[in-house]
Amino acid sequence: GQAVEMLSPESVADIVDPCIRPLRPWFPQSTNTARAVLQYNLAVALALRGELDKAGDMLKQVWKSKSPTCDVPIHVIALALYIELLLGHTDIARNIIKQNCPQLQR
């Protein structure tokens, strides 16, 4: 329960101030990126708790928040596949693979 509360995307402070630099080069560079990271981590926590529907909904928010020029990271795709397969949605899992793994197209 506590991890889920701490991963709330609403807890992300606005980081538009140019004077505020990330502590590490791999830290999120924008509020939207930080929010997406928290949403992904929350989806993982929910999936681990067995709350697959909630995890799937959270992952959809991550998917929708990405910019059009950005690919969906593989760990997001893998989690989406895992959730959909556990829910028995093989058709959705198949579509995820078709959309994100063009090398598998025949």
User: Rounded to whole angstroms, how far apart are CA atoms 54 and 84?
Assistant: 12
Q: Which of 80, 73, 81 is nearest to 59 (CA)?
A: 80
* pLDDT score recorded for residue 12: 57
pTM: 0.72
pLDDT in tens, the chain (106 residues): 666 666 666 655 554 455 556 566 666 677 778 888 889 999 999 999 999 999 999 999 888 887 777 777 889 999 999 999 999 999 999 999 998 887 766 6
Q: What is the reported pLDDT for 20?
A: 58
